[in-house]
Amino acid sequence: MKLNLGCGSKTIEGFLNVDKFFTATTDVVFDLETTPWPWASDSVEEVRLIHSLEHMGQDTDTYLNIIKEIYRICANGALVVIHVPHPRHDNYLGDPTHVRPITPQSLTLFDKAKNEEWLAGGVSAATPLAIYIGVDFFIAGLTTVLDPPYHEKYLNEELSLDEISQKARELNNVIAEYHISLIVRKS
């Protein structure tokens, strides 16, 4: 089974399209902040959260329950594709329904191997959420989508990746969004 969670009106052929609100193309109406979800454990081979995860889980417990449910329903090796606006971009800041910034760094907290590495090395700045809540995802792919003016400057070699990274730490609207691919690890 393949799930397109928080689909809104953007449905994907071959996926079960799920949203809290009914549209003409929604297959299942379900509030994803409500757990447990109606899918069996280990039954999903792919999940897509395309501009939807940042709309869920304003409360930390709710967010962590969503992460646990994604893990529960996914089979070992399942792909989880997440597209989110960068939290320092107007596309994120300007939408009052965006309740949680999602970054590659925050998703790394759900990687059990990284958690174990941090604990063994005495790293105290990173919360080992994978161990605390019993999940294990690793980032298999990351695309950083630059805002058009910065993308053009990068293509024209006016800015290097290092310069863009520096600007992204100092300014808003440098990075437009992240496209992140996670792989589910289960023993």
Measured distance CA(119)–CA(138) in Å, rounded: 17
Shortest CA distance to 178 belongs to which of 139, 143, 138?
143
Measured distance CA(73)–CA(179) in Å, rounded: 22
Shortest CA distance to 91 belongs to which of 184, 25, 168, 175?
175
Give one word for 77, left, alpha or beta, with left for phi > 0 and alpha for psi -120 to 50.
left
Predicted TM-score (pTM) of the model is: 0.95
Predicted pLDDT of residue 123: 81
pLDDT-based confidence at 124, cuts 50/70/90?
A: confident
pLDDT higher than threshold 80 for residue 11? yes
For residue range 55-114, list pLDDT tens digits in order: 999 999 999 999 999 999 999 999 999 999 999 999 999 999 999 999 999 999 999 999
pLDDT higher than threshold 80 for residue 164? yes
More confident residue, 96 or 122: 96
pLDDT-based confidence at 187, cuts 50/70/90?
A: confident
Q: What is the phi/psi pair of residue 20, to 5°? A: -70, -30
pLDDT higher than threshold 80 for residue 5? yes
For residue range 36-52, list pLDDT tens digits in order: 999 999 999 999 999 99
Query: Do residues 49 and 6 lie in contact, with contact meaning Cβ atoms separated by under 8 Å?
Result: yes
Q: What is the mean pLDDT of residues 153-157?
A: 96
pLDDT higher than threshold 80 for residue 25? yes
Predicted pLDDT of residue 125: 76
Which tokens is 3 given? Answer: 């799930």
Measured distance CA(152)–CA(131) in Å, rounded: 41
Domains identified in the chain and CATH numbers: 2-146+177-184 (3.40.50.150)
The answer to whether the peptide bond before residue 96 is cis (omega within 30 degrees of 0) is no
Measured distance CA(155)–CA(152) in Å, rounded: 5
Measured distance CA(162)–CA(183) in Å, rounded: 28
Predicted pLDDT of residue 122: 86
The answer to whether the peptide bond before residue 128 is cis (omega within 30 degrees of 0) is no
Predicted pLDDT of residue 126: 84
